[in-house]
Homo-oligomer: A and B are copies of this chain.
């Protein structure tokens, strides 16, 4: 019997939340869950619709993209997940979708401005949108380079992946992560909500200002860090 049954189950259940939360149609997304002690992660197989996906279909892969267990091909975005896990040691789960409003911002090529406390409850920065990869990287090891693109964007901006748990890959779509797979899906849903709210905010007031610093900090730190008083 596989020693990855629990990991596959976690990955499967997180994937099944995507259609429930209206974040995907058909096969437009994938979630992975990591087991740091084993040095592997579980990820959705490529091209399998959610309504036929089973826990045993989940593929186990190591951080160098070797298939450790599974008969199906892993998600075509696997190399992006692998590099993020390898580089950022605190990630427990990663979620990639093509959710509508997040894709629209990624296609618009704009950071999502922090307009309110819904955003500040989750991060104090504008949600970053990457640049586009140069052609030789697209034609080369594309999904691996997409991982590098995300990591470099965070380095250039001085962002910590534990504080900014989401990104828009320009002209592509969102990636989000968290301490586990479920939290990465949560962050994907929050991102989609923030993107819709921001689009409507600009529609109502094209000159809407960003949230002021004191409110950013108040809302973020009442949910995160030592002085947090939100939740249990």
Seen from chain A, the residues whose Cβ lies within 8 Å of a Cβ on chain B are 21, 25-28, 45-48, 72-73, 76, 98, 100-101, 103-110, 115-118, 132-133, 135, 138-139, 142, 171-173, 186, 189-190, 193, 196-205, 208-209, 211-212, 214-215, 218, 222, 229-232
Out of B108, B117, B196, B211, which one reaches A173, CB within 8 Å?
B117
Out of B101, B172, B215, which one reaches A200, CB within 8 Å?
B101
Residues of B within 8 A of A218 (CB): 138-139, 142
Given contacts A197-B100, A218-B139, contact A116 B202 (CB under 8 A): no
Contact yes or no, A47 B197, CB < 8 A: no
Instruction: Report the copy number of this chain in the oligomer.
Output: 4
Distance in angstroms between the alpha carbons of A189 and B46 in the assembled complex: 19
User: Nearest Cβ distance between residue A57 and chain B, in whole angstroms?
Assistant: 10
Residues of B within 8 A of A132 (CB): 212, 215
A sample of 9 inter-chain contacts (CB < 8 A) reads A98-B118, A100-B200, A108-B204, A109-B208, A109-B209, A116-B171, A117-B172, A142-B218, A199-B203
User: Nearest Cβ distance between residue A84 and chain B, in whole angstroms?
Assistant: 18
Q: Lowest 4 CB-CB distances: which A-B pairs, in order?
A: A47-B231, A104-B200, A108-B205, A108-B204
Residues of B within 8 A of A229 (CB): 46, 73, 76
Contact yes or no, B100 A106, CB < 8 A: no
User: Nearest Cβ distance between residue A159 and chain B, in whole angstroms?
Assistant: 22
Residues of B within 8 A of A200 (CB): 100-101, 104, 199
